Amino acid sequence: MVAPLSRVLAVLLVGLGLCVHGADALSGYQINCGAGGERVAGNVTWVPDGPFVRAGNAAAVPSPPGMPPMLASLRYFPDASARKHCYVLPAARKAKYLVRTTYYYGGFDGGEAPPVFDQIIEGTRWSEVDTAADYARGRATYFEAVVRATGRQVSVCLARNAGTAPTSSPFISALEVVPLDDSVYNSTDFSSYALSTIARHSFGHDASVLSHPDAGDQFNRYWEPYSDGSPVVESQGSVAPAALWNKPPEDVFRRGVTASRGDALELQWPPAPLPKASYYLALYFQDNRAPSPLSWRVFDVAVNGQAFFAGLNVSTAGSMLYGAAWPLSGQTKITLTPAPGSPVGPVINAAEVMMVVPLGGRTHPRDVIGMEGLARGFANPPSDWSGDPCLPVGNSWTGVSCSQGALARVTALNLTNFSVGGSISDHIANLTAISSVWLVGNNLTGPIPVMSSLHHLASLHLEDNQVTGPIPPSLGDLPRLQELFVQNNNLQGSIPIGLNRTSITFKYTPGNNLNQQ
């Protein structure tokens, strides 16, 4: 489990055109949380969030001039009993996705400061959401991660932060999930790690330039402007993004920063200090001059005094360097030192830095199938029954207890007096590590499913429902069963012989129409 990460950079300005820009036919999902219908901005169609979330309330937000449309509404989650609130989106199994969450408070709850809460991605606690500083400046805040889908869905969840603000309602303004090509950030082992974006900048722009509205990033990544006063150069050639693994948009190569001939270029980037961790670091370069057989630009690259790459020969075609797990902490300095005799100084056009986040494990796929099947069978399960059933620790589904480990297992289910309707799905047979099932005092109907695979089941309580049909004979064959309570239902038929053994406490009256064989 990774500790919550405070974002270092990437603040989204209200009115920033960057927020609504996307490449033509942008793939994935662009979700306008709390909206009543579709909104089109630039080339992006923002869809309402209803199909992707089961809980929460929609709210309109006052609109300052120039506010992007997906910041005019939000969804908030006032249910304090829920352990998390999840958006679940279709995905391709083992595909890689860029996930971006955007938050603009707007005083929706009548308070003076935004709530503080956690966000969870694919069962791993990703980061803490604290937007107070940005909101005070009239800004929204976004977070971004790259994660691999373990199944056919991707879940993004919000949860109350027990240590900071346990009574405040989490909220969200927009959610984007965009599939990435295999080559993008492919040096990361996404079966064990996710990437959390700290900064992504295009160099050579000052603060008056807010976005690259024509950047055309096919994955809709945000490349924010950055300038430290170094000399700026304009590009004379074009770059083919497809030739570089991360496929940065051609627009980020239009400008760069440089140093005079013979001088090193030192760049304090990112501007804010970094928490001690491992980072994915990618740097992008292009020789801005017209191609010539007599021109060359060679330099060494160092990060915090450590050699990152020696003898980089940058051409007009563009170059990319990366470090897959580079240790960083505090202020970071990138130094480009020209080779002796180089006719021009070094140049750099853009950079990305992303924290390498260890995944917190996942629930066994068999148990995920079982719990999702139960959720579909119930008419009104608890509102937090979506996302990972067990993880992160402390944010399992209501009534669900789990083991810990790389593959968590569901060990107990207790929804006593939760007013759950519907029926008990046959998928309960997938929960092969479960030892206790208590569904007492609900409105369940239909038959008791076959549970012959639940060899660890010791306690099954179904009393005070409206369950019908016979008792499956296989219940009497469960080796560890010690309690079976089914009174006050509408069961019929014969009592299985196996339930007459003295090791089982079996209660079936009052109610029911059962007889001994």
Model confidence at 350: pLDDT above 90: yes
d(Cα 211, Cα 13) in Å, to the nearest integer? 10
- Residues of the chain within CATH 3.80.10.10 domain(s) are 362-515
Per-residue model confidence as pLDDT tens digits over 416-430: 999 999 999 999 999
d(Cα 324, Cα 227) in Å, to the nearest integer? 25
Pairing of strands 174-179, 29-32: antiparallel
The predicted pLDDT at position 18 comes to 35
**249 band by pLDDT with thresholds 50, 70 and 90:** very high
Per-residue model confidence as pLDDT tens digits over 117-154: 999 999 999 999 999 999 998 889 999 999 999 889 99
Residue 243 DSSP label: G
d(Cα 464, Cα 439) in Å, to the nearest integer? 9
d(Cα 351, Cα 367) in Å, to the nearest integer? 41
CB atoms within 10 A of CB 330: 11
Nearest one of 190, 221, 195 to 94, comparing CA atoms: 190
502 contacts: CB under 8 Å, gap ≥ 6 = none
Model confidence at 267: pLDDT above 60: yes
Q: Is the dihedral of CA 315, 320, 321, 327 positive or negative?
A: positive
d(Cα 340, Cα 87) in Å, to the nearest integer? 55
Half-sphere exposure of 296 (CA within 13 A, CB side): 12
Q: Which CATH number fits domain 198-351: 1.10.357, 2.60.120, 2.60.40, 1.10.3470?
A: 2.60.120
Q: Which CATH architecture has domain 362-515?
A: Alpha-Beta Horseshoe (3.80)
Averaged confidence pLDDT in the chain: 90
Per-residue model confidence as pLDDT tens digits over 447-470: 999 999 999 999 999 999 999 999
If you search the block for the tokens 């330099």, which residue do you land on?
A: 299
What's the CATH number for 29-180?
A: 2.60.120.260
**235 band by pLDDT with thresholds 50, 70 and 90:** confident
Query: pTM (2 decimals)?
Result: 0.90
Half-sphere exposure of 292 (CA within 13 A, CB side): 10
d(Cα 362, Cα 391) in Å, to the nearest integer? 7
Per-residue model confidence as pLDDT tens digits over 29-41: 999 999 999 988 8
Residue 412 pairs with which residues in a beta bridge? 401, 436
What's the CA angle centered on 439, arms 433 and 441, to 5 degrees?
170
The predicted pLDDT at position 25 comes to 45
Model confidence at 490: pLDDT above 60: yes
| AA identity, residue 115 | P
Per-residue model confidence as pLDDT tens digits over 169-222: 999 999 999 999 999 999 999 999 999 999 999 999 776 544 444 457 889 899
Q: Give me the mean pLDDT over the 39-54 stretch.
A: 90
The predicted pLDDT at position 126 comes to 92
The predicted pLDDT at position 26 comes to 56
Provide φ and ψ at 44, rounded to 5°.
-110, 130
Percent of the chain's residues with pLDDT above 70: 91
**370 band by pLDDT with thresholds 50, 70 and 90:** very high
d(Cα 286, Cα 320) in Å, to the nearest integer? 9
**How far are the Cα atoms of 24, 218, 412 from residue 44, in angstroms, in the given order?**
8, 12, 44
Residue 335 pairs with which residues in a beta bridge? 266, 302
**400 band by pLDDT with thresholds 50, 70 and 90:** very high
**How far are the Cα atoms of 60, 219, 372, 386, 445 from residue 442, in angstroms, in the given order?**
36, 47, 19, 20, 9
